[in-house]
Structure 1
């Protein structure tokens, strides 16, 4: 597919069904793009579709099947959108750091592809606001989904979740406790962490 150059071709891209519940249009919304008037359109739609499909099928669909509706806060960013977000300190990493991340349609420095979305699990919001125990969701994903890197944020317990050809398995947080919850080699990495999320599961 060529890069969309008209409303009709952009609508065609948006209608691509990535998985049971998600369409490419779900990946394209951006407050930065809307506010600053920058088109958030992939240069390589085929690669963007491929990586978004893997993200949705392997990670977002299983999450939604278990916990109900997922809200996508930020997913695909065109390089120009991401660069502006970085320059204006809108919590965007550099383009180079976001290739095969939020920039779905560019490969990273190792030639690998990937996709990242910032999402909210709606059914988790109330539990998080009452307990501030974001680790419950982090550990459930760590124990039950394919390998992925996670990064948690303070508002709505939103988090980045990533599909990548060579996946990591690190959990980090910008909300308390800050820093790295786990990564390969840490004492808490292996085994079941069910005790961390059983209280949340009981609320469902």
Structure 2
């Protein structure tokens, strides 16, 4: 598929189904792109679609099946939108750091593809709005989903959930307690963590942790 060059082509891209419940159009919204009138269109739609499908099929579908409807805060950003956000301090990392992350249609420095969506899981925040309440969701995802990395934020426990071809299995947070919750090599990384998320929904879907 070519980069959309018309409204009809963009419409066709938006209709591409990434998984049972998600279409490409669900991930194109960007406040930066809308407010500053920068078209948020992929330069390499085929790569963006391939990475987005893995994000949706492996991570977002089972998460939504287990917890109910997800709220997508932000997801795909093309290189122009992301670079503008970075240069103007609008909470965007550099393009190099965002490749195979929010920039789905660029591979990372090692040639791997990836994709990130920032989502809110309303059920989790409604039940656990207290300080540190995000950690239950973090450990649930860690035990059940083949995520590449997770990064949590203070507002509504929004989380950047990333699919990576070569997963880091890193969880960090800007919400208290800030810092790294776990990564390979830490004592808390392996094993079952179900005692840390009592009462959370049972997993719905096929187990894909590799």
Fold-level match, TM-score > 0.5? yes
- Find the aligned partners of 1:37 and 1:189 in 2 and give their Cα distance: 43
- Find the aligned partners of 1:37 and 1:126 in 2 and give their Cα distance: 34
Q: How does 1:63-102 map to 2 (within 5 A)?
A: 63-102=63-102
Indicate if the aligned counterparts of 2:99 and 2:108 stay in contact, CA closer than 8 A: yes
Aligned to 2:207: none
How far did residue 130 of structure 1 move? 4.2
SS at match of 2:118: strand
Aligned to 1:32: 32
SS at match of 1:198: coil
Indicate if the aligned counterparts of 2:151 and 2:161 stay in contact, CA closer than 8 A: yes
Report the TM-score, using the length of structure 2 for normalisation.
0.93
- Find the aligned partners of 2:128 and 2:77 in 1 and give their Cα distance: 28
Q: How does 1:170-181 map to 2 (within 5 A)?
A: 170-181=170-181
How far did residue 177 of structure 1 move? 0.3
- Find the aligned partners of 1:137 and 1:175 in 2 and give their Cα distance: 13
The number of residues matched between the two structures is 202
Report the TM-score, using the length of structure 1 for normalisation.
0.96
Question: What residue ranges of structure 2 are gaps of 5+ in the alignment?
Answer: 203-210
How far did residue 111 of structure 1 move? 1.0
Q: Which has the higher helix share?
A: 1
Question: What residue ranges of structure 1 are gaps of 5+ in the alignment?
Answer: none
Indicate if the aligned counterparts of 1:18 and 1:24 stay in contact, CA closer than 8 A: yes
Aligned to 1:183: 183
Indicate if the aligned counterparts of 1:99 and 1:107 stay in contact, CA closer than 8 A: yes
